[in-house]
């Protein structure tokens, strides 16, 4: 599929002019998918990345895990098991909301280790409140309706996201969040952003080599929507530095991750794309 980044007139035109659609990623050929993804990440860059921050490179993630036995704290499952459970949990929430009923917790979740359950719950909470909108409360109520979920809710909501909830949501939702002690204590957010950058790019590189499902780092899930955008932009730009023979694999691996898709828009400029094409063409000539 090297022709997808060859910079030929047909390819370049398709990437620059492809319309943004709601078409399922699974129904499109990989070539068209990458073209659409490049167009998506290159749209409206100036307005979407107005606020970025840098800083230290180390952060201590939370250590309190309610319901997690001390001897199991470091045990975790493989990426495939975690991602599969996360997808099934999301589907169960959507179904529960649609049918106005409690969540039916999938077996894929109950089979996970304690540490992996904590990770899946953290990632799911991130999804439920990204963005904070009218559906957030319905998703939340469905998710926490099963007692097997509740022990893993502590410290899963960043303070910045909770601030959005306070502005937009009901007193009931705010009370429930406090009930489960979901809001994190004080953390170095700038350091966490830097950690998320490193961990996300490491996940992409390992995934390309080993071919597991794309795995979203917890450090990413524990960021506000705006800061997630900063991390995703960093990862997208990292793909541009990859050798042209491996660019497509890295780019698609990143952009096919469902947790990344809401934050791709505006992470590339037209100048970024042109440089990518020129670099690819020059390297192939040598």
CA distances from 133 to 106, 137, 138, 202, 258 (A): 26, 8, 10, 31, 19
User: How far apart (Å, rounded) are the C-alpha atoms in residues 129 and 135?
Assistant: 9
Tokens 């606020």 -> residue: 51
Q: What is the pLDDT along the chain (286 residues), one digit of tens a residue?
A: 444 444 433 333 323 332 233 333 343 444 445 555 555 565 544 333 333 333 333 333 333 344 445 445 556 788 889 999 999 999 999 999 999 999 999 999 999 999 999 999 999 999 999 999 889 999 999 999 999 999 999 999 999 999 999 888 788 899 999 999 999 988 899 999 999 999 999 999 988 887 766 689 999 999 999 999 999 999 999 998 888 788 888 998 899 899 999 999 999 888 887 877 776 666 666 5
User: How far apart (Å, rounded) are the C-alpha atoms in residues 133 and 274?
Assistant: 37
> Where exactly are the structural domains of the chain?
2-51+189-285, 70-179
Q: What are phi and psi of 19, to 5 degrees?
A: -80, 150
Is the pTM higher than 0.85? The answer reads: no
Q: Which two tokens stand for residue 223?
A: 């960021």
Are 235 and 204 in contact, with CB atoms under 8 Å apart?
yes
User: How far apart (Å, rounded) are the C-alpha atoms in residues 106 and 120?
Assistant: 12
């Amino acid at each position: 599929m090297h022709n997808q980044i060859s910079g030929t007139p047909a390819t370049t035109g398709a990437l620059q002019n492809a319309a943004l659609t709601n078409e399922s990623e699974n129904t499109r050929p990989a070539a068209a998918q990458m073209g659409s993804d490049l167009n998506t990440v290159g749209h409206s860059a100036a307005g979407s990345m107005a606020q970025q921050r840098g800083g230290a490179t180390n952060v201590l993630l939370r250590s309190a895990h309610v319901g997690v036995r001390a001897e199991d704290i470091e045990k975790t499952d493989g990426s495939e098991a975690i991602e599969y459970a996360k997808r099934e949990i999301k589907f169960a929430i959507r179904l529960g909301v649609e049918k106005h009923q409690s969540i039916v917790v999938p077996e894929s979740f109950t089979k996970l280790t304690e540490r992996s359950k904590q990770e899946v719950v953290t990632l799911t909470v991130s999804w439920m409140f990204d963005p904070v909108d009218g559906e957030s409360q319905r998703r939340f109520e469905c998710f926490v309706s099963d007692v097997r979920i509740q022990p893993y809710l502590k410290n899963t909501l960043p303070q910045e996201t909770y601030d959005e909830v306070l502005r937009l949501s009901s007193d009931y939702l705010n009370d429930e969040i406090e009930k489960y002690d979901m809001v994190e204590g004080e953390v170095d957010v700038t350091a966490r952003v830097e950690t998320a950058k490193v961990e996300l790019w490491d996940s992409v590189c390992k995934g390309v080599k080993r071919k597991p499902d794309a795995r979203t780092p917890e450090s990413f899930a524990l960021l506000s929507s705006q800061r997630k955008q900063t991390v995703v932009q960093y990862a997208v730009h990292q793909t541009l530095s990859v050798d042209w023979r491996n660019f497509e694999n890295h780019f698609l691996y990143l952009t096919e991750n469902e947790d990344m898709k809401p934050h791709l828009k505006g992470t590339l400029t037209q100048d970024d794309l042109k440089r990518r094409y020129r670099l690819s063409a020059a390297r192939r000539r040598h």
